[in-house]
Amino acid sequence: MHLMPASTRRPDRFQRGDAVWWRAVGRGRIRRTNMLFQYPVRFASFCGAFTLFAFSALPALAADGLDTGDTAWILTATALVLFMTLPGLALFYAGLVQAKNVVSVLMHHFAIACLMSILWVVAAYSLAFSGDGAWFGNLDKMFMAGVGIDSLSGSIPETLFAAFQMTFAVITPALVIGAYVERMKFSAVLIFSALWLLFVYAPVTHWVWGGGIMAGWGVMDFAGGIVVHATAGTAALVCAVMVGRRRSFPDSTTPPHSPILTMVGASMLWVGWFGFNGGSALGAGGSAGMALLVTHIAAATASLVWMLVEWLRFGRPSLVGIVTGMVAGLATVTPASGYIGVPGGLILGLVGGFGCYYAVDIIRGKLKIDDSLDVFAVHGVGGILGSLLVAFLATPVFGGLGLADGISASAQFMVQLQSVVVTVIWTAVASAIILMIARATGGLRVDEQTEVDGLDLAEHGERGYPGS
């Protein structure tokens, strides 16, 4: 997703289009219809005047650079990406925990969505998308200074661009929740998420999409394999290690209390991801259409791969398994979605399904790290795999759109690898420091009795279900 200022974008990576919306008129307004027939000349004159005004306004719109079709699509995509977090990811995670902790998981998501939104307009958007520094933006657009109703970012209003980006800033720290569910203090969640947005997410966004150092390297990250999934996955792994294991892990595992909620949330994620990847074209054209198509194909492929592996291994497929495979496919295709064709989508679905499945075994089974809801194994591993493989799958031999002129697949792979390594190191170190700060200000983890009783009553005074 090339969400850099218009002056830094590569024009060959965007296709603009128009969206035309028709609305049918109901038949119930007889009196109004009769009036139209009673005064046909007056009505015809009004229509003619309105048409003349509309056509006279089109050159002004074109001169301003605003495309109403692109704007309509990004308005829709913005709503879809927020829908991914609330309620999609919230329900997905809520179904995976014990019944006595479902309220706490929902509360984490809702509070993070609110807090990240405020921090985004206050400072994080400016840190990500203003200034020409290689490593950090500046505060020129703090409190959205200079971003008015007429400001444009490419062919859409800058206010809309900022809102679209805000939904990414909301879901990324929300993904990390899956690593520390059922044991982290609510106060620590808020402190960690706030500082993490400012000191991890905003800088990495600037490096990749805001004209920073990785944009200069020519990194390819269409919709967030590095910015979203690599950062969230790495932070999740650090959280799992520093917060510590749940009391029951690894001796016993508690099954998800509601596969139904998990499936409903996963379905919302799938639909919302069309806005996540398709909207990252920042226009209503062929690039958005292809991104949407390969996103769907990769998700479907990875779902079936996960299901079949589980079926062969345990003798029966599970609902939680197939929807987890779907998320793995979506995470893997995200960085490549705007550069590849259908063959690339199929390949990334296969790689994401197999790769993320066995990453779960390694992280939880062999390393005994309690990344409770497999954030690193699914999002981190998936996003990194897609970020590396795009160097090859974007080439025409795999149906891709091609690499930049004069760049070989191997050279592009080294750019991708270097970008991933720098991002992972920065995220790991910064996340550890932020967790230390949160620990010093009030502690990271709830006490043992609270963990036994459940966080719902102890932290929030509410129950998700009677008797839980």
What DSSP line would sit under 330-388, residue for residue? HHHHGGGTTT--HHHHHHHHHHHHHHHHHHHIIIIIIS----TT-HIIIIIHHHHHHHH
Is domain 88-460 in CATH 1.10.10.60, yes or no? no
Give the span between the Cα atoms of 389 and 147, in whole angstroms.
Answer: 37
Q: Would you state the pLDDT for residue 468?
A: 63
Q: Which residues pair with 130 in a beta bridge?
A: none
Are residues 177 and 170 in contact, defined by beta-carbon separation less than 8 angstroms?
Answer: no
Peptide bond preceding 250 in cis form (omega within 30 of 0):
yes
Are residues 156 and 76 in contact, defined by beta-carbon separation less than 8 angstroms?
Answer: no
Domain ranges of the chain: 88-460
Residues with Cβ within 8 Å of 143's Cβ and at least 6 positions away in sequence, in order, are: 121, 122
Are residues 243 and 445 in contact, defined by beta-carbon separation less than 8 angstroms?
Answer: yes
Angle made by CA atoms 132, 137, 143, in degrees to the nearest 5? 120
Please choose, from the candidates 98, 185, 194, 173, the residue with its C-alpha nearest in 3D space to the C-alpha of residue 375.
173
Residue 359: phi and psi, rounded to 5, are: -65, -35
Peptide bond preceding 87 in cis form (omega within 30 of 0):
yes
Please choose, from the candidates 272, 268, 322, the residue with its C-alpha nearest in 3D space to the C-alpha of residue 300.
322
Per-residue pLDDT of the chain in tens (468 residues, 90 and over written 9) = 444 443 333 333 333 333 322 223 333 333 333 433 344 434 344 444 433 443 344 344 444 699 999 999 999 999 999 999 999 999 999 999 999 999 999 999 999 999 999 999 999 999 999 999 999 999 999 999 999 999 999 999 999 999 999 999 999 999 999 999 999 999 999 999 999 999 999 999 999 999 999 999 999 999 999 999 999 999 999 999 999 999 888 887 789 999 999 999 999 999 999 999 999 999 999 999 999 999 999 999 999 999 999 999 999 999 999 999 999 999 999 999 999 999 999 999 999 999 999 999 999 999 999 999 999 999 999 999 999 999 999 999 999 999 999 899 999 999 999 999 999 999 999 999 999 999 999 999 999 999 999 999 999 999 999 876
Give the span between the Cα atoms of 310 and 229, in whole angstroms.
Answer: 24
Please choose, from the candidates 342, 333, 299, the residue with its C-alpha nearest in 3D space to the C-alpha of residue 228.
333
Q: Would you state the pLDDT for residue 250?
A: 84
Q: Would you state the pLDDT for residue 466?
A: 87
Number of H-type helices and E-type strands within the chain: 20, 2
Q: Which residues pair with 152 in a beta bridge?
A: 157
